[in-house]
């Protein structure tokens, strides 16, 4: 990395976490939520994706998901491991959020790598991605637990990251505005978590 580029890398990391990675997560969890309506509803909703020409879909996947996500993940791991968490000495709410943001971030690198291997790469190898596939995956109670923790980590990391995004770009400055942003992002966390967990439980 060239000299004095750290500011731009950090800002890019913050931006990409929200747009497009965060927006994609909201879209992804919403699409999953159709599983609550049953097997047919889910297969119909995900089937719409098949209507997009394959080459265009691949392009969108790389530009909107893989490249931003890879940068966010690897730069994020670097950020996480240059921190020295000290919640033992400073057990304030924000300091816990600081540590959890880094902990969930590192966990999500593992979870998402596994998740992509188990679904997207299997699809590329010729397996059908549909309701049955997820049903088989979460039939294993260990996998179900792993997915629930993964979903909650993702919704936390996004909503808490959104709070940090608002500070990092200078949108929320005063303690009061940051407190209001805490409430709003916490409500968002609950909504996204309910959507995400309800979706995965629909496959059980």
Partner 1 sequence: MIAANTGRMVKVEILRQDTTSGNGYWQKFEVPYRHGMNVISILMEIQKNPVTENGEKTTPVAWDMNCLEEVCGACSMVINGRPRQSCSTLVDQLTEPIKLEPMKTFPVIRDLQVDRERMFNALKKVKAWVPIDGTYDLGEGPRMPEGKRQWAYELSKCMTCGVCMEACPNVSEKASFIGPAPLSQVRLFNTHPTGAMIKDERLNAIMGDGGLANCGNSQNCVAACPKGIPLTTSIASLNRATTVQMFRNFFGSDHFVD
Binding site for partner 1 (CB under 8 A): 3-8, 10-11, 79, 82-86, 88-90, 92, 94-95, 97-99, 101, 163-164, 167-175, 178
13 is in an annotated binding site: no
Q: How far is the CB of 142 from partner 1 (least distance, A)?
A: 33
| For partner 1, the closer CB: 131 or 163 | 163
Q: How far is the CB of 176 from partner 1 (least distance, A)?
A: 10
| For partner 1, the closer CB: 95 or 130 | 95
d(CA 198, CA 28): 13
Q: How far is the CB of 80 from partner 1 (least distance, A)?
A: 10
| For partner 1, the closer CB: 13 or 115 | 13
54 is in an annotated binding site: no
Q: How far is the CB of 32 from partner 1 (least distance, A)?
A: 30
Q: How far is the CB of 173 from partner 1 (least distance, A)?
A: 4
| For partner 1, the closer CB: 45 or 79 | 79
How does DSSP assign the chain, residue by residue?
Answer: --TT-HHHHHHHHHHHIIIIIIHHHHHHHHHHHGGGG-HHHHHHHHHHHHTS-HHHHHHHIIIIIIHHHHHHHHHHHHHHHT----TTT---HHHHHHHHHHHHHHHHHHHHHHHHIIIIIHHHTT---SHHHHHHHHTSHHHHHHHHHHHHHHHHHHHHHHHHHHHHTTS--SHHHHHHHHHHHHHHHHHHHHHHHHHHHTT-
157 is in an annotated binding site: yes
28 is in an annotated binding site: yes
| For partner 1, the closer CB: 94 or 123 | 94
Please state the residue numbers annotated as binding site for heme: 28, 72, 115, 157
């Amino acid at each position: 990395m060239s000299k004095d580029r750290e500011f731009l890398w950090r800002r890019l990391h913050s931006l990409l976490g929200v747009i497009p990675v965060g927006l994609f997560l909201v879209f992804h969890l919403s699409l999953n939520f159709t599983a609550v309506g049953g097997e047919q509803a889910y297969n119909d909703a995900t089937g719409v994706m098949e209507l997009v020409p394959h080459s265009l879909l691949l392009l969108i996947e790389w530009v909107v998901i893989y490249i931003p996500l890879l940068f966010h993940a690897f730069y994020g791991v670097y950020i996480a491991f240059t921190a020295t968490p000290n919640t033992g000495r400073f057990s304030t709410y924000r300091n816990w959020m600081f540590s959890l943001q880094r902990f969930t971030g590192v966990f999500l690198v593992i979870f998402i790598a596994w998740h992509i291997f188990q679904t997207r790469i299997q699809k590329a190898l010729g397996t059908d991605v549909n309701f049955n596939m997820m049903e088989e995956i979460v039939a294993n109670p260990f996998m179900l637990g792993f997915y629930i923790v993964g979903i909650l980590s993702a919704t936390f990391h996004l909503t808490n990251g959104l709070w940090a995004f608002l500070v990092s770009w200078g949108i929320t400055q005063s303690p009061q505005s940051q407190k209001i942003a805490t409430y709003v992002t916490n409500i968002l966390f609950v909504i996204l978590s309910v959507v995400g967990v309800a979706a995965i439980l629909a496959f059980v």
